[in-house]
Structure 1
Amino acid sequence: MKHALILSAGLAVALAACGQKTEPAPVEAPTAAPATTGDMAAMPMAPAEAGKSGVGSGVITAVDAAAGSVTIDHGPIPGVGWPAMTMSFKAVPAVVAKAKVGERVQFDVTVRGRESEVTAIRPE
């Protein structure tokens, strides 16, 4: 009788363990020793986030020189996967200086993550 009870208890524990999922042990990122030579090539660096570029066309609706931005009511921009919309963009200083409200333009835009920047505008 004792053997049957011990065997039943062992079997119950084994069956209970079979249905449980186990989490893999966390893997820690290796730490790099600091460069002692002053050579930046030896420093570990995160990979640069790849950006997308596209060309759009639209009408400039606002220019904010202090913020370094332009707002454009633009059509779809397939190169970056955007539908038509009105949005504010960061812009390089040359674009901000050249942009005029109400002007219809073609523009180059670069997108990295959630950041977008107009790098050039041309009259349309």
Structure 2
Amino acid sequence: MTRTLIALAGLTMALSACGQPADTAPAEPNAAAPVDTASTAGAADTATSPDAAPRSGSGVGVVTAVDAAAGAVTIDHEAIPAVGWPAMTMSFKASPAVVQQAAVGDRVQFDLEVQGNAGEITAIRPE
């Protein structure tokens, strides 16, 4: 009988503790923790925002692929400072007239319009 009373008392205390509100005091911020402003500072940057105003520039590079069906030309291009792009290989949208002027292996100069991170070649000519 004593065991039963002790067990019931323990169970009662355990159940009563379950109904208590948890300590909800807000944690103090860690004053020593660095704040990463770089990840949010450029969030509205026009170079990466898809709603950014169109920018134009020109580049130099080598045509690596032409896809007439998709209306695209891939160019391994040098840096294009006017639009803030480093040297890279990328595919650009292009009109059928521009696609017809491009051939794999050609070194070309090209003009482009950039909206967000996507570019469209507006003119292409041999370098």
How high is the TM-score relative to the length of structure 2?
0.58
Residue pair 2:101, 2:125 contacting (<8 A) in 1 also = no
CA RMSD of aligned residues (A): 1.2
* Alignment of 1:116 onto 2:115: no
Q: Figure out how many residues of one structure are paired with residues of the other and give that number.
A: 77
Bigger CA radius of gyration: 2
* Alignment of 1:95 onto 2:98: yes
Q: Of 98, 105, 110, which aligns to 2:108?
A: 105
Query: How far apart in 2 are the matches of 1:96 and 1:105?
Result: 13
How high is the TM-score relative to the length of structure 1?
0.59
Cα offset for 1:93?
1.4
- Write the deviation string for residues 58-79 of structure 1: whole angstroms up to 9, x where unpaired: 0000000000000000000011
Q: Which amino acid letter does the alignment assign opposite residue 67 of structure 2?
A: D
- Write the deviation string for residues 78-110 of structure 1: whole angstroms up to 9, x where unpaired: 110000000000011111011000000000011
Q: Which amino acid letter does the alignment assign opposite residue 120 of structure 1?
A: A
Overall identity of the aligned pairs, in %: 70
* Alignment of 1:52 onto 2:55: yes
User: Where in structure 1 do 4 or more consecutive aligned residues deviate above 4 Å?
Assistant: none
Structure 1: runs of 5+ lacking an equivalent: 1-47
